[in-house]
Amino acid sequence: MAILQLALKSLWNRRFTAGLTLLSITLSVALLLGVERLRNESRSSFANTISGTDLIVGARSGSIQLLLYSVFRIGNPTNNIDWQSYQAIIKHPNVKWSIPITLGDSHHGFRVMGTTPDYFKYYRYSRKRPLQFQNGKPFTDVYDAVLGAEVAEQLGYQLDQKIVIAHGAGKVSLIKHDNKPFTVVGILNKTGTPVDRAVHVDLRGIEAIHIDWQGGSPTPGMRITADKAKQLDLNPKTITAAMLGLSSRISTFKVRHYINNYREEPLQAILPGVALQELWDMMAVAEKALLAISLFVVLVGLTGMVTAILTSLNERRREMAILRSVGARPAHILLLISGEAIGLCLLGILLGIGLLYSLLFIGQPLIESHYGLFINIDWPSTYEFGLLGILLLASLLVSLIPGIRAYRYSLADGMTIRL
């Protein structure tokens, strides 16, 4: 007991360097666990970009490509789906709901997506969360638009604002559908998914703005006014893709088989969850790099601790000599030094966990409102405990370096210091 008291007092004497060492360990532990958390959360948030949709239907290509253009709005579809094929597919007895989508136009670099009001009813993201309105309501009129949170924020749009849609997906488009402006009727809450960056309009709206077009440009001398266009048949001829919800999970494979073997048009149905996983697996290298970085941070923290203890050894030779003079064996000295290192490390781990959790509790609502990324606060996983265990073991091993050194000093020095 007395030796513990002595050790604590000695540590207190060196509180400044010991404090700094503790800080570096605390920070590296918090970083290691934080990166690990971030890695897991971004993975699950990525996997939750779309949820509750059983199948995505598009032209036959690759599953990742279809996922990229229909959900992430990256890249281009190989082909569109004929409206009649779409109508036939949604008549399949196992299809409960469907969301058709049409892409192709843009507004200030944000994609304009044509869909139906069902989108707001059935689309789910992140563990079956529905889309919520920050302001306004779903579109009802042909020329209504609903903005994703980021669109409204970046362009500073309010409800009832008139917006003009540009033809094509480029940031700079010379052709604008300026004779048929849309009215903002709703702004969605932040979701942390590509929904935030989309302008949603009715499928009929997309059809209406192209109704007097021919061959990719406005037909000269034939302008159909916005009101007149409404009177015409605005059923689309094609759509880009469709999301399907099915009546039973077990029927998913059957419906997929039906769509993949649909005779009238080469179509493809994918399981969005599986495609997301395939996509994530392609990015696994970056994930591993993150883990490697955080492991190096821990290594730096441990090295710092050893350095601090080693430099203090010279100063503490007198202390060791005194301890020896009152009966401490060299083994006691080893225990004292190594014990201090392990104790510091253990304390650093506890403080690191504490720091991480307090940051999580403070940061969770902020991250959710700014980035739409919901971070789950769970107990450390067994994997994380494993990481910490390895860390403790590593600290035990490196603590032997100053420990053995002190042991040898105290053997050589005995009770007097020969410098």
Partner 1 sequence: MFGNKLSSLSIITASLILLYSPFTHAGKTQHRQHGSHEHGSAQLNIAIEGQRLYLELSSPAANIVGFEHKPHNDKQRQTLKKAIKILNQTSLLFTPSASAQCKSNKIEVDVDTLQDEHDKKDSHHHHSGHADFSAHYVFVCQKPSKLTTLQLLLFKPFPGIEKLQVQLLTETGQSAITATAQKATIKLK
Q: Where along the sequence are the contacts to partner 1 (CB under 8 A)?
A: 47, 51, 54, 248-250, 252-253, 261, 263, 266, 271-274, 277-278
Q: Would you say 40 or 277 has its CB closer to partner 1?
A: 277
Q: Would you say 137 or 257 has its CB closer to partner 1?
A: 257
Q: What is the DSSP secondary-structure string of 349-384?
A: HHHHHHHHHHHHHHHHHHHHHHH--PPP--PPPHHH
Q: Would you say 96 or 317 has its CB closer to partner 1?
A: 96
Q: Would you say 52 or 339 has its CB closer to partner 1?
A: 52
The least distance separating partner 1 from the CB of residue 73, rounded to whole angstroms, comes to 21
Distance CA 269, CA 256 (A): 5
Angle between helices 330-371 and 382-413 (to 10 degrees): 150
Tokens of 103: 């892409």
Tokens of 73: 């709005």
The least distance separating partner 1 from the CB of residue 381, rounded to whole angstroms, comes to 15
Q: What region, left, alpha or beta, does residue 75 occupy, with left being phi > 0 and alpha being psi -120 to 50 degrees? A: left
**For the chain, how many helices (H) and strands (E)?**
14, 16
Q: Would you say 15 or 127 has its CB closer to partner 1?
A: 127
Distance CA 407, CA 258 (A): 76
Distance CA 245, CA 251 (A): 11
Using alpha carbons, select from 318, 276, 296 the residue that is nearest to residue 409: 318
Q: Which residues contact 406 (CB under 8 A, 6 or more apart)?
A: 313, 316, 320, 333, 334, 336, 337
The least distance separating partner 1 from the CB of residue 48, rounded to whole angstroms, comes to 8
The least distance separating partner 1 from the CB of residue 250, rounded to whole angstroms, comes to 4
Give the DSSP H/E element, type plus range, for residue 103.
strand 95-107
Distance CA 57, CA 274 (A): 14
Q: Would you say 35 or 47 has its CB closer to partner 1?
A: 47
The least distance separating partner 1 from the CB of residue 89, rounded to whole angstroms, comes to 17
Distance CA 169, CA 171 (A): 7
Q: Would you say 52 or 363 has its CB closer to partner 1?
A: 52
Count CB atoms within 10 A of the CB of residue 27.
18
Q: Would you say 56 or 151 has its CB closer to partner 1?
A: 56
Token pair 């666990």 in the structure block, residue: 33
The least distance separating partner 1 from the CB of residue 253, rounded to whole angstroms, comes to 5
Using alpha carbons, select from 55, 83, 74, 27 the residue that is nearest to residue 193: 74
Q: Would you say 60 or 176 has its CB closer to partner 1?
A: 60
Distance CA 371, CA 90 (A): 35
The least distance separating partner 1 from the CB of residue 321, rounded to whole angstroms, comes to 60
The least distance separating partner 1 from the CB of residue 265, rounded to whole angstroms, comes to 11
The least distance separating partner 1 from the CB of residue 132, rounded to whole angstroms, comes to 21
The least distance separating partner 1 from the CB of residue 55, rounded to whole angstroms, comes to 10
Say if CB 40 and CB 115 are below 8 A apart: no
* Strand pairing class (144-147; 182-188): parallel
Phi (first) and psi of residue 214, to 5 degrees: -145, 130
Coil, helix or strand for 208?
A: helix
Q: Would you say 94 or 173 has its CB closer to partner 1?
A: 94
